[in-house]
């Protein structure tokens, strides 16, 4: 067993200098965050420190470190100043565009254009959506939690947004109402420069939750799903 005590100085020489931390909570879905600045410049960048929080209301959060100059990244500044952001699902097909959008361009550069992506107006918020992304979440900015770092340039900003509109391309919805994850192939980060995408899945329902499934709950099955399951059993 290799033990690494994390102090201000991290020593990973036993691993050839490779930091294992980012490769532990994996695979990590990638938030592809579109924002708009108060000057009206559209912005797009990926953040793999990303998760959903709460279901009613649904929220998401992404976390950003500071940029090379020790300043807040544009996505954070924009979300705070214009009060919104959009998460656009990154799929395997969109991996190259996502990578281009991660470059640190100046604040007045529009990453949609750099990555050759199409903008679509949102229904509720000001930030634009990525048309090529099959699932998008419009979010109203709620708050930023600042996590102090080991030194002044290592703070993390956790940006939390309330989901106010969900957009789904109907070509990625199965007849039973579920998202067709295998067709979407969401992209995920594995630490280092390694990635994966979802290419297999199975279903496993908790027995205790099966008696009174609530619509929208984990073990709830749409009438169409139940019909499909019954057909399966008859085969
Ligand atoms: C797959 C991927 C995931 C990333 N995740 C993060 C992250 O979680 N936090 C972060 O601060 N930067 C992350 N980055 C780097 C940002 O995307 C990059 O700094 C970007 O230029 C920020 O843009 P902005 O200044 O327009 O907000 C990631 C880059 C890639 C390619």
Q: What is the pLDDT of residues 135-153, one digit of tens each?
A: 999 999 999 999 999 888 8
Q: Is 35 in the pocket of ligand 1 (CB under 6 A)?
A: no
For residue 223, what pLDDT is reported? 78
Q: Which two tokens stand for residue 199?
A: 């290419």
In residues, how long is the chain? 235
For residues 160 and 223, membership in a common domain is answered with no
For residues 86 and 63, membership in a common domain is answered with yes
For residues 190 and 222, membership in a common domain is answered with no
For residues 29 and 116, membership in a common domain is answered with yes
- How many angstroms separate the alpha carbon of residue 213 from the centre of ligand 1? 39
Q: Is 43 in the pocket of ligand 1 (CB under 6 A)?
A: yes
For residues 80 and 153, membership in a common domain is answered with yes
Taking the C-alpha atoms of residue 197 and residue 189, their distance in angstroms, rounded to an integer, is: 9
Q: Is 28 in the pocket of ligand 1 (CB under 6 A)?
A: no
For residues 111 and 162, membership in a common domain is answered with yes
Q: What is the mean pLDDT of residues 82-109?
A: 97
Taking the C-alpha atoms of residue 61 and residue 73, their distance in angstroms, rounded to an integer, is: 15
For residue 173, what pLDDT is reported? 98
Instruction: Catalogue the E-assigned strands of the chain.
Output: 28-29, 31-36, 42-47, 50-55, 58-64, 84-88, 119-120, 129-130, 135-147, 156-168, 187-189, 195-197
For residues 76 and 126, membership in a common domain is answered with yes
Q: Is 65 in the pocket of ligand 1 (CB under 6 A)?
A: yes
**Structural domain total, the chain:** 2
In a domain, 8, yes or no: no
Ligand 1 atom at shortest distance from the alpha carbon of 43: 26
- How far apart, in Å, are the Cα atoms of 180 and each of 117, 171, 194, 219? 23, 9, 24, 17
- Residue 77 in contact with residue 127, Cβ under 8 Å? no
Taking the C-alpha atoms of residue 160 and residue 139, their distance in angstroms, rounded to an integer, is: 9
Pocket test for ligand 1, best of 31, 46, 98 (most atoms within 8 A of CB): 46
CA quadruple 179, 182, 184, 189: dihedral positive or negative? positive
Q: Which two tokens stand for residue 203?
A: 């279903």
Ligand 1 atom at shortest distance from the alpha carbon of 105: 21
Whether the full predicted model's pTM is greater than 0.85, yes or no, is: yes
For residue 153, what pLDDT is reported? 87
In a domain, 152, yes or no: yes
């Amino acid at each position: 067993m290799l033990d690494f005590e994390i102090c201000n100085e991290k020593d990973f020489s036993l691993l050839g200098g490779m930091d294992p931390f980012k490769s532990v909570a994996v695979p990590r879905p990638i938030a592809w965050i579109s924002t708009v600045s108060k000057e009206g410049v559209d912005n797009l960048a990926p953040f793999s420190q990303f998760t959903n929080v709460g279901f009613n209301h649904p929220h998401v959060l992404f976390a950003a470190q500071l940029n090379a100059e020790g300043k807040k990244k544009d996505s954070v500044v924009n979300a705070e100043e214009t009060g919104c952001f959009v998460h656009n699902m990154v799929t395997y097909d969109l991996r190259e565009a996502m990578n281009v959008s991660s470059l640190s361009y100046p604040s007045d550069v529009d990453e949609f254009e750099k990555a050759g992506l199409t903008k679509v107006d949102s229904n509720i918020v000001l930030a634009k959506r990525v048309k090529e992304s099959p699932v998008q979440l419009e979010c109203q900015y709620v708050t930023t939690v600042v996590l102090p770092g080991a030194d002044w340039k290592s703070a993390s900003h956790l940006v939390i947004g309330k989901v106010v509109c969900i957009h789904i391309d109907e070509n990625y919805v199965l007849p039973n109402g579920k998202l067709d994850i295998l067709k979407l192939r969401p992209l995920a980060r594995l630490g280092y420069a390694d990635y994966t995408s979802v290419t297999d899945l199975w279903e496993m329902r908790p027995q205790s939750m099966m008696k009174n499934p609530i619509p929208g709950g984990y073990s709830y099955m749409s009438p169409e799903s139940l019909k499909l399951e019954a057909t399966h059993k008859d085969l």
